[in-house]
Amino acid sequence: MTVTLEGKRAIVTGGSLGIGAAIARELARQGADVAINFRRHDAEARQVVADIEALGRRGLAIQADVASFTDAQRMVAQVVEAWGGLDILVNNAGINRDAVIWKMTEEQWDEVLATDLKGYFNYIRAVVEIFRAQNSGKIVNITSINGLRGKFGQTNYSAAKAGIIGLTKALARELGRSNVNVNAVAPGLIETDMVRDAPPKVIEAALAEIVLARLGKPEEVAAVVAFLCSEAARHITGEVIKVDGGQYI
């Protein structure tokens, strides 16, 4: 079956930069109209929308904080009003506030959990009645291999990403009878601007783990997400698919 998203309407959170921007562009390349949120990166968000429109699809950039339940409700309502409905949700927005647990502040813990886990709940809660009513929908949650294995200095991030995996599996059970597929994608270290600015020793340590001996590219994550959003993946739900070049092995 050909992967096509022709006529579908999608929201990608955190879609102005990195993996999120690559996902937004790939969904548009496959035929979807795509709305993204941004909090501060308005110029980058406008560029992603311009790229979506250059592919012949409709794009929207809406300022919204994923940690805000109200902002999520407002954004989903705006997209539905503009496009008459919604078919796909990709939860991608996330932050890092790294520290070993004995130095981690309450603020660092709360900020990561509010964005990286509660932010996913906020958007799922905003779309779920739409998907149930139309008896269709695709939800893809971006997690991390560090949610599967844990990572030194990232107890907050690892906890949030592990929570996303549990959320994905429970949600797949709850929405299966409504014909809604819910899956997760777990990247390893991906070559984004943030990663390129990381200390060389961090990159070297990751490369030593990666079987394919290179960093992943955002477009490689995006391709898997697009597949999961398509009817080609209609009998896949509750899964966690690693895109890590063998880093987890």
Just list the catalytic residues.
Answer: 157
Helix axis angle for 69-83 and 119-134, nearest 10°, is 40
| Cα distance between residue 63 and residue 17, in whole Å | 14
- Give Cα 187 to chain centroid, integer Å: 10
Amino acid letter, 48:
V
> How many other CB atoms are there within 10 angstroms of residue 206's CB atom?
17
Looking at the DSSP assignment, which residues form a beta bridge with residue 36? 12, 61
Reading the block at residue 111, the tokens are 């900020």
| Cα distance between residue 215 and residue 172, in whole Å | 30
Let me know: does 2 contact 31? Beta carbons within 8 Å: no
